[in-house]
Amino acid sequence: MADSESVTTSSQDPQDDPLGEHTDDELQQLLEDLHAGNKVFQNETIMFEKYLKRVEPNLTAAATTTAVAPTPSQSTHDARVMRKRSKSKGSGVDKHLKLNAEQKCDIAQREIEELREEIDKLKEDAEKILDTYKAVMEEADVRLSELKKSSYEYERDILKGSVNNRTGKVVAEKVVRYFEDKQRSRDALIEKLRLKNSTLKVQKKKLHLQLKQKEEMGEVLHEVDFQQLKIENSQYLEKIDERNQDLLRLKLMSGNTLQVLNSYKKKLHTLTLESDRLKSEITSRNELLTRIDAETETVEAERAKAEELNRRLRQQLGDFRVPDVVEYVQEKADLYELAKTVKSWERKVDIAEMALKTHRKTWNTMKMNSHQNWALET
């Protein structure tokens, strides 16, 4: 019987345990989901507590003062009572106390607005404190500059300018006069600042009255229904969504345009390099063309000269007349005779030159002998 009972209990345990059907990974996922849900509920509870403290501070204060730590027996008794009540009235209490999504959204929106107001207030307070510190620093800088100026003037007028040359000490009358002048200038400055302060106070009162009147008129004239504000807010949100879509579309267009621009920049860079190369090549070609033009002009001049020479030669060739054979033979004979005559005359010239050389040599010897004889006679 015991074995049968153990078998029956072991066979019934998996059916009674709802978690036995899940694997370890599924249980881990369920645990993480429960933790996330608990975190969300905890944040919602904190937000609702803040909202309740702000809306009904007396209720939360009474709840905190009347709360007493229960004893172990009381806690067990209360737990039993709560379990019994939860079985009978749990569903009804949840129905009455559970907030719907719209109420949660309203509370969250109010909390967000409250936080924004607190942040704005903190920013204003921080700006006021910062302005105060800036004013104090500016006043300290002005005071420091005034003290430096006063120290410089005192050193210039009293310590250096009021020294008696005979005794080497500062004249007391000048010191007293200097401080009296300073005191009178300070009194005049105090009076001026007092008058300015009184005028500023009057202006402040006037501005406060004007601001109060504007606030009262604004409360009367600018009170708008909340539903109208919600409608306008929804319209503005739709416009913002449209603008965001337009902005996204423009960003995509800008990205595409940037890509196209980069490609065009690359093409422009390559074309610029090609243009520089072509410019250098054009420059070299122009120089070569200039040299070719100069050579062409030179060749043209030479060609003109050659044509002129050719023309003259052609003209001479056209004017040339071939003699007859008899005349040619006669001319050749005359040429032969002339050549023989030239050769004979050349021989005669050679003989005459040789005779001239001998005569010159004889003359030179005779001249030298005459000079020697004349020298001996003298």
pLDDT of residue 298: 92
Q: Is there a domain that residue 255 lies in? A: no
Do residues 332 and 315 share a domain? no
100: pLDDT strictly greater than 80: no
Listed range (84-93, 277-286, 342-351) with the worst mean pLDDT: 84-93
**Cα 175 from Cα 154, distance rounded (Å):** 9
Do residues 175 and 214 share a domain? yes
Q: For residue 67, name the pLDDT band (cuts at 50, 70, 90).
A: very low
Q: Is there a domain that residue 196 lies in? A: yes
Q: Is there a domain that residue 194 lies in? A: yes
Q: Is there a domain that residue 28 lies in? A: no
Q: Is there a domain that residue 93 lies in? A: no
Q: Is there a domain that residue 338 lies in? A: yes
14: pLDDT strictly greater than 60: no
Q: What is the 3-state secondary structure (H, E, C) of the chain?
A: CHHHHHHHHHHHHHHHCCCCCCCHHHHHHHHHHHHHHHHHHHHHHHHHHHHHHHHCHHHHHHHHHHCCCCCHHHHHHHHHHHHHHHHHHHHHHHHHHCCCHHHHHHHHHHHHHHHHHHHHHHHHHHHHHHHHHHHHHHHHHHHHHHHHHHHHHHHHHHHHCCECCCCCCECHHHHHHHHHHHHHHHHHHHHHHHHHHHHHHHHHHHHHHHHHHHHHHHHHHCCCCHHHHHHHHHHHHHHHHHHHHHHHHHHHHHHHHHHHHHHHHHHHHHHHHHHHHHHHHHHHHHHHHHHHHHHHHHHHHHHHHHHHHHHHHHHHHHHCCCCCHHHHHHHHHHHHHHHHHHHHHHHHHHHHHHHHHHHHHHHHHHHHHHHHHHHHHC
Number of domains within the chain: 3
Sequence-distant (≥ 6) Cβ neighbours of residue 150 within 8 angstroms: 182
Q: Is there a domain that residue 55 lies in? A: no
Mean pLDDT of the residues in the chain: 78
Nearest CA to 131 among 121, 139, 142, 120? 139
**Where does a domain end: 274, 303, 321?**
321
Do residues 311 and 329 share a domain? no
Q: For residue 317, name the pLDDT band (cuts at 50, 70, 90).
A: confident
| Residue listed under structure tokens 């899940």 | 22
- This prediction has a pTM of 0.33
Model confidence pLDDT, tens digit, residues 72-89: 444 444 444 444 444 444
**Domain housing 345:** 325-359
58: pLDDT strictly greater than 80: no
Do residues 179 and 214 share a domain? yes
**Cα 304 from Cα 310, distance rounded (Å):** 10
Query: Among residues of the chain, what percentage have pLDDT more than 70?
Result: 79
Do residues 209 and 187 share a domain? yes
pLDDT of residue 292: 92
**Cα 172 from Cα 177, distance rounded (Å):** 9
**Where does a domain end: 158, 185, 220?**
220
Q: Is there a domain that residue 344 lies in? A: yes
Higher pLDDT, 226 or 181: 181
Model confidence pLDDT, tens digit, residues 126-154: 988 998 898 889 889 988 988 888 888 88
Do residues 315 and 331 share a domain? no
Do residues 277 and 291 share a domain? yes
